[in-house]
Amino acid sequence: MPTKKKNGTPHLRLGVNIDHVATIRNARGGRHPDPLRAAHLAVAAGADGITAHLREDRRHISDEDITRLKQELTRPLNLEMAATDEMLAIATRHIPNACCLVPERREERTTEGGLDVNGGGERLRRIIAELKAAGIRVSLFVEPDPAVIEASAAAEADIVELHTGRYCDLALAGDAIGVAREVGRIAKAATLAHSAGLEVHAGHGLTYNTVTAVARMPEMAELNIGHFLVGEAIFGGLNQSVAHMRRLMDEARAVVGRHETAGRAASAPADANRTPARTGAARQHSKTP
Ligand code: PXP
């Protein structure tokens, strides 16, 4: 169940996923925008934790990002990763607060579908056991399906994160019947998971329009949200960055204007006795910094 705030209200934790800050950074290969700076901003704005997915192809978050997040973050880090030995070694080196095991295919654009917990067999159980032995809480990203919830409890995960992608896709498509069906499925899965002793999280595709139905489910302890928040930040922040750039440019031009005026005043008496050709050259020169 969610932890209670001092006033008795059950607190639903918000994990902000910063993967797509790294996506924008990587588009240019430099250091801007820095996902760690975004993580600090998210925490200052009310995030309870930060989520980052270190993909096998490193398409957004890098190994260095994980090192820096772990060193500098003041809130828990939830590391999303595939259930592989490479990722297990990274996780046990950094000891994030939690690891969320997700299915991963190189050709997918984002995590499609939940983890095949039964299909993961002995290897998945071993990875869960090793993460737990290292003191890391283990979450499985799963479809809201009773059989998968039961398999997650049997595999001794601490947490299930219920995949809300289908629900959010149906909401975007305006399919009210489909939305009602999916919300019902997620709610039932949350109840089942909670009664099986699992902590319940949810995420994928959540937006301002779709968060409320999930946030109202009493068993829900944490929501992980990324893509929408980073996208929405453009609309909440582009006005500020453009206005700041405008101000810097205007300030720079004001100085150019002052130099030009001063230059013209200084050269005015001499210009009066010169040929038009020389006057033009002098004017051009005064514009050179
Ligand atoms: N939870 C998991 C397990 C995910 O893989 C993702 C996407 O990286 C999210 C939550 C966040 O989804 P979104 O970026 O669509 O909010």
Q: How confident is the model over 251-277, as pLDDT tens digits?
A: 999 988 777 777 777 776 554 444 444
Say if residue 82's pLDDT is above 50: yes
Q: Domain 7-268, what architecture?
A: Alpha-Beta Barrel (3.20)
**Test site for ligand 1: of 17, 78, 117, most ligand atoms within 8 A of the Cβ:** 17
Please give the average per-residue pLDDT across 34-48, as a whole number. Answer: 98
Q: Is 49 in the pocket of ligand 1 (CB under 6 A)?
A: no
Q: Check if 244 is active-site.
A: no
Does the active-site annotation cover 80?
yes
Rounded Cα gap, residues 201 and 187, in angstroms:
11
pLDDT of residue 6: 61
Extents of the domains making up the chain: 7-268
Please indicate whether residue 17, judged by its CB atom, sits closer than 6 Å to ligand 1.
yes
Mean pLDDT of 140-152: 97
> How many CB atoms neighbour CB 147 within 10 A?
11
Length of the chain: 289
pLDDT recorded at residue 266 = 75
Closest atom of ligand 1 to CA, residue 203: 10
β 220-225/199-203 pair status: parallel
pTM for the predicted model, two decimal places: 0.87
Q: At 40, is the pLDDT very low, low, confident or very high (cuts 50, 70, 90)?
A: very high
